[in-house]
Amino acid sequence: MTLPAVLVLFLFTLGPALYAFFLSLFSWSLLNKMHYVGLSNFAFIFASHLFWTAVWNTASFAFIVVPTQTLVALFIAVLLNQNLPARGFLRLAFFFPAVSSSAVISIIFMWIYNKFGILNGLLAVVGIHGPNWLANPLFALKSIMIMNIWTTSGYFMVVFLSGLQAIPQNIYDAAEMDGANSWQRFSRITVPLLKPTTFFVVIMGVIGTLQMFDQSFILSGGTGGPLHSTTTLVLLIYQYIFSYGKVGYGAAVTVILFAFTMIATLIVNRWLGKSIEY
């Protein structure tokens, strides 16, 4: 029974992954014959300024986006777990970005972030002269962070909501009887009992942000600009392989990204992955 699943897994997931390891040792332009070059692709990548820029961009993206989106998602989830009017509508409104295509969202945000777009129009109302968000290297990646947080928070909110609803009400009732105020109930009951959910949210967040590609690609027109400020590791992989025909370099970065992702996942696992005790 498991054979088809294993076959599919090997064909579409494990196979290509192993092939990336293989390719990282070769020089190939997709069009010519590949030849073995040992570890020289890695030597090139580690000496490449552009690679370290991409590492910095990807890491700072993950460090800012993951905690922010987790906190925002938790906050909205707790809020929408109350008996609010129009609760269903609000849940839908927050979840909506998660079911939209990120390409479409990116294009909408190109207009929002335009020098004369809605965002700067709103800022002008309160007397702030807004920057040229996507054309300014200082703001381009931050703009994408804001967009990403907006997009993914809704999805993780739903995950948190389901986690919240799995917490038995009687624990809260008992705590209330013992005189715990609402902050204590939140920090001593909700947060610890949500740990498995938080673990899932953080792991998915870390993996998702380390793999960020589409938003950078669309908002920078595929260049990772201005001045490489939005070049992420996956965008760099794409450029090396498909734009510049340097498959070996791209595959080497892929292998390095695999290592980074694994290390980050192990760290999160150590921190949040322990089973919880009531």
Beta strand 35-36 pairing with 26-27: antiparallel
Does residue 222 bind another protein (CB under 8 A)? yes
- What number of H helices and E strands is found in the chain? 15, 2
Does residue 198 bind another protein (CB under 8 A)? no
Candidates 211, 225, 258, 265: give the one binding another protein (CB under 8 A): 225
* Calpha distance 272→278 (Å, rounded): 15
Candidates 90, 95, 108, 117: give the one binding another protein (CB under 8 A): 117
Does residue 132 bind another protein (CB under 8 A)? yes
Concatenated DSSP letters for 180-206? --HHHHIIIIIHHHTHHHHHHHHHHHH
Give residue for tokens 């917490």: 167
Candidates 5, 33, 179, 183: give the one binding another protein (CB under 8 A): 33
* Calpha distance 94→73 (Å, rounded): 9
Does residue 130 bind another protein (CB under 8 A)? no
Nearer to another protein, 6 or 227 (CB): 227
Smallest distance, Å, CB 225 to another protein?
7
Burial class of residue 200 (count of CB atoms within 10 Å of its CB; 0-12, 13-18, 19+): middle
Number of amino acids touching another protein (CB under 8 A): 28
Residues making contact with another protein (CB under 8 A) = 27, 29-33, 35, 114-117, 132, 134-135, 221-228, 239, 242-246
